[in-house]
Structure 1
């Protein structure tokens, strides 16, 4: 990510640095990537007494896992209908239940490790920017019938009593979902892995690897690791180490800004501590941070990194067009980062070859889905379950390279145009 001093870096609870790998070492399982998927996998293995080591090219939580919106709520980047068309209704039902399980896994981990610095805050609102309450009611009924999952329907008046904007109509509020400080959560996982005997190395990018033998070898600039098993949990910053992995998803840039401190002004626009996301594809998402003193606002995607300052101006226009009363609210920080998206818009969780695993492509899926992916890989390695096989239909298909990026950008522009026309009609 591009962040000389972002909100997350400035407010992280533990700034301890970990040394890079130096010399030769051995372990049972090597994790490559220090984001949420890798740390969750390593934590579950360490809890089971497995000898585990983790290599991170930068610092723990450097990429999208540590500097995202902090939303923890069920669901995926693609809709349930698209998932069911690929895997069938029963498997789609099980997959959605995994995303619900992921919410509870993250919540329970915060509780069990007493990660108060994660600052979990209950409630996420999904709001419409057009009049469509009947569809929301049907969705809430479906979640109740099929999963026993309760969502609160809010009519337009109720929404606008919390979000003082004429852009918003109805909403579904998820009281079970929550939002948090993701970087503090990740760094707490790293500390627990080390407490349990696992080894975490920062500034240790893997440069070459030998994966075909019984013993795998991964080399960094300062050392090498011999391991029985390797798990790749890299995301949008994946390098050319394993060509098949890099070709399987697209690096998509997203953007975040942080406002200045102005609690009184902000309260004129936003009267809730719920996190907010709108219904547009790659729409706005935001939440109040630092006890309501600032707004952390994200949105927009591009297929190549653009100037954070330029995108911050676009995000600010989104904010002030939604809330004209915030026109005097200044932007203090802005940053960008790369997420990984597969062509099928689903996570890629599975085994590439014997004892070589992957857990990637979590762009747009939320922290709970990334966490449950890591848990599924750990279950497979420990022989506890084969639930990862639910994701086998969403494999490492080629994402299309440059043509895939162009197609993704065109698709995004098309969806933006559709959103614009639908909102105009409202």
Structure 2
């Protein structure tokens, strides 16, 4: 399976071809999956002197980690109140602090490893599509008091001065959040893992495993790995290798499109370098790339992979409905990717059995949360902390199989209808 044609592939700084695993490799930990969670786990373990092997079925960053919107901002796909109802108020506070830590971790990694090709750009705006400034002001106050985290409230005039759309009302700006080129970031992390002695094998899908003993064995088509720890970080591309993991998530497809080069036209609509996201479930998210020459626009979810071209037409309708002045902006490229969603809509991080770890279900949570998940697993393996247990209330519950997919799609349509009515009332 070839890497899809995406903006990130076209602007990839380094396209190193890594070897296929042959023969037997021995290590302290084998990581299955070369996305952000897996590479972060491997990075932290190699930094601590552990021998690590990463097995990637395709190429580094092949899945959602390498073809997403590139947003790095704190928070989760569900609100803190929902998290508190399941985990308790104090745990919910600590969980949110983890997401803030994840933003700092990614930023610090870019700086420490000098991954200039990640092109970090500060600032993220979250905008309302209905009039409710008071709720945003209350949120700003809460974040400052509870976490010491500063957000900037933007009134309607401020929002519309930079986003030239009648669709938007108030907004929040997070100056500490940022957006970046995720695939170049992953390649930079992979290079550091190898520099530190870690081994990464591409086109080396794990096909079988023996996990009961103290020594774990993971087999590929041409080789095998023997290790004390196994970490599953396969996300939306999890196959049948681990049935417990596969039944605990839903593969959800999301879609992104890239515009032609048209900086003057784009500037008529969007006069900010901040990344933008609206407040709808599976709403629009977008940002300028190539120094403002192009617009990268994402959104929509489906429970079955659909044609990127067909979904691009829907994304385009959203874009021109929001910004009629961009009706002449042509779409140059569109792609999709699979994310993993748990039924409880939270990440799934933990130890399934002694020496067997999982770090998955990051759909909708952002790059920072995926990264901090990998860091927590590494801390658990190293015996440095048991912070991964904060996510224990959000376990590997059955996601419902085909019925779960149907319910997820119906729920999405219901939420879309609720969004439509709420915006119409505004």
Query: Structure 1 residues 193 and 304, CA, compared in 2 at 3 Å: closer, same or farther?
Result: same
- The residue aligned with 2:315 is 315
Distance 2:357 2:102 in 1: 20
Shift in Å, 1:75:
0.2
- The residue aligned with 1:165 is 165
Distance 1:3 1:27 in 2: 28
User: What secondary structure, in the 3-state scheme, does the structure 1 residue paired with 2:208 have?
Assistant: strand
Count of paired positions: 426
Distance 2:339 2:121 in 1: 24
- The residue aligned with 2:216 is 216
Shift in Å, 1:23:
1.0
Distance 2:57 2:179 in 1: 27
Contact 1:115 1:185 in 2 (8 A): yes
Distance 1:159 1:152 in 2: 11
What CA deviation, in whole Å up to 9, does each residue of 1:235-255 have, x standing for no partner?
001000010000000000000
- The answer to whether the aligner puts 1:5 opposite 2:5 as a matched pair is yes
Distance 2:244 2:198 in 1: 28
Structural RMSD (CA): 0.8
- The residue aligned with 1:373 is 373
Shift in Å, 1:283:
0.1
- The residue aligned with 1:233 is 233
- The residue aligned with 2:72 is 72
Contact 1:2 1:336 in 2 (8 A): no
- The residue aligned with 2:93 is 93
Distance 1:78 1:241 in 2: 29
- The answer to whether the aligner puts 1:332 opposite 2:332 as a matched pair is yes
Contact 2:29 2:230 in 1 (8 A): yes
Contact 2:3 2:59 in 1 (8 A): no
Matches within 5 A, 1:295-306: 295-306=295-306
- The residue aligned with 1:142 is 142
What CA deviation, in whole Å up to 9, does each residue of 1:68-104 have, x standing for no partner?
0010000001111100000110000000000000000
User: What secondary structure, in the 3-state scheme, does the structure 2 residue paired with 1:143 have?
Assistant: helix
- The residue aligned with 1:403 is 403
User: What secondary structure, in the 3-state scheme, does the structure 1 residue paired with 2:64 have?
Assistant: coil
Distance 2:296 2:61 in 1: 18
Distance 1:362 1:301 in 2: 14
Distance 1:248 1:173 in 2: 35
User: What secondary structure, in the 3-state scheme, does the structure 1 residue paired with 2:173 have?
Assistant: strand
Shift in Å, 1:3:
6.1
Matches within 5 A, 1:194-205: 194-205=194-205
Contact 2:29 2:228 in 1 (8 A): yes
- The residue aligned with 1:178 is 178
- The residue aligned with 1:121 is 121
Contact 2:5 2:335 in 1 (8 A): no
- The residue aligned with 1:252 is 252
Distance 1:94 1:148 in 2: 13
TM-score (norm 2): 0.99
Contact 2:350 2:377 in 1 (8 A): yes
Give 4+ residue runs of structure 1 displaced > 4 Å after superposition.
1-4
Distance 1:219 1:347 in 2: 27
- The residue aligned with 2:206 is 206
Distance 2:168 2:96 in 1: 27
User: What secondary structure, in the 3-state scheme, does the structure 2 residue paired with 1:206 have?
Assistant: coil
User: What secondary structure, in the 3-state scheme, does the structure 1 residue paired with 2:398 have?
Assistant: coil
Matches within 5 A, 1:44-59: 44-59=44-59
- The residue aligned with 1:284 is 284
Shift in Å, 1:373:
0.4
Distance 2:229 2:158 in 1: 53
Contact 1:74 1:177 in 2 (8 A): yes
Shift in Å, 1:2:
8.8
Contact 1:258 1:295 in 2 (8 A): yes
Contact 1:3 1:335 in 2 (8 A): no
Shift in Å, 1:214:
1.2
Shift in Å, 1:222:
1.3
- The residue aligned with 2:270 is 270
Shift in Å, 1:5:
2.2
Distance 2:214 2:46 in 1: 22
Contact 1:129 1:423 in 2 (8 A): yes
Contact 1:2 1:337 in 2 (8 A): no
Distance 1:425 1:3 in 2: 44
Contact 2:3 2:62 in 1 (8 A): no
Contact 2:40 2:374 in 1 (8 A): yes
